[in-house]
């Protein structure tokens, strides 16, 4: 009998976790399609990033309608990663987490080559408030851009910077393997 009660409790917790994710994604309200530099992109996948049992942000990945996320990354095609924040986060904490991940993923030479561009990108970050949206846009012709709450705040034609920075979320050894797998699983 006790095992049955434990099983029922675990099932209920599982349903609550699923409902919570669904509610969080509804709260983020990612658009089904966006246009970046006149290129239409379709929502391919979305996920909630949770750290120490707290939902931090929802992430959405957009690619060209005919491409899966994996194809877009392999072909270096147009991509948008949009983050909708549920919690306030100090900009210095975001920058520290970015550097920690980049140092894990990139060689020292690559980091040194990209350092000034990364610093320029980080200079645009602000303290995050609940409801803020950050979006990283990659275009193989124009490089990387950063939009904060719909306003373009940064651009760089450096495609290596774009691949490295998007890699924080989309490359192995990034912030979250679970988030990465979910985002790349989209069709």
Q: Is the CB of residue 81 less than 8 Å from the CB of residue 135?
A: yes
Residue 50 has phi, psi (to 5 degrees) of -115, 135
Instruction: Give per-residue pLDDT as tens, 113-167.
Output: 999 999 999 999 999 999 999 999 999 989 999 999 999 999 999 999 999 999 9
Question: What pLDDT score was predicted for residue 13?
Answer: 37
Question: Does residue 64 contact residue 56 with C-beta atoms inside 8 Å?
Answer: no
What percent of the chain is predicted at pLDDT more than 90? Answer: 75
Q: In the chain, what's the furthest Cα-to-Cα distance? A: 64
Scan for tokens 């012709």, then name that residue. 141
Q: How many domains does the chain have?
A: 1
Domain of 180: which CATH number?
3.50.70.10
Confidence of residue 9 (pLDDT cuts 50, 70, 90): very low
Is the pLDDT at 88 greater than 70? The verdict is: yes
* CB of 24 closer than 8 Å to CB of 179: no
The rounded distance, in Å, linking the Cα atoms of 152 and 150 is: 7
> What pLDDT, on the 0 to 100 scale, is given for residue 19?
39
Phi and psi at 42, nearest 5°, equal -110, 145
- By the 8 A CB rule, do 138 and 144 touch? yes
Predicted local confidence at residue 15, as pLDDT: 36
Q: What are phi and psi of 175, to 5 degrees?
A: -60, -40
Q: Structural domain of residue 41, as residue ranges?
A: 2-184
What does the pLDDT average to over 69-81? 90
């Amino acid at each position: 009998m006790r095992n049955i009660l434990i099983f029922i409790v675990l099932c209920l917790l599982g349903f609550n976790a699923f409902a919570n994710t669904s509610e969080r994604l509804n709260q983020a309200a990612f658009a089904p399609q966006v246009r970046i530099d006149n290129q239409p992109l379709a929502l391919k996948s979305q996920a909630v990033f949770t750290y120490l049992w707290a939902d931090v942000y929802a992430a959405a990945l957009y690619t060209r309608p005919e491409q899966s996320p994996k194809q877009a990354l392999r072909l270096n095609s147009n991509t948008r990663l949009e983050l909708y924040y549920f919690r306030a986060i100090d900009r210095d904490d975001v920058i520290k987490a970015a550097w920690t991940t980049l140092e894990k993923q990139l060689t020292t030479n690559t980091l040194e080559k990209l350092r000034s561009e990364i610093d320029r990108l980080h200079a645009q970050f602000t303290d995050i408030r609940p409801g803020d949206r950050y979006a990283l846009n990659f275009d193989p012709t124009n490089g990387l851009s950063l939009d904060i709450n719909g306003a373009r705040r940064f651009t760089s034609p450096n495609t290596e910077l774009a691949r490295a920075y998007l890699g924080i979320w989309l490359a192995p050894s990034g912030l979250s393997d679970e988030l990465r797998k979910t985002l790349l699983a989209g069709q």
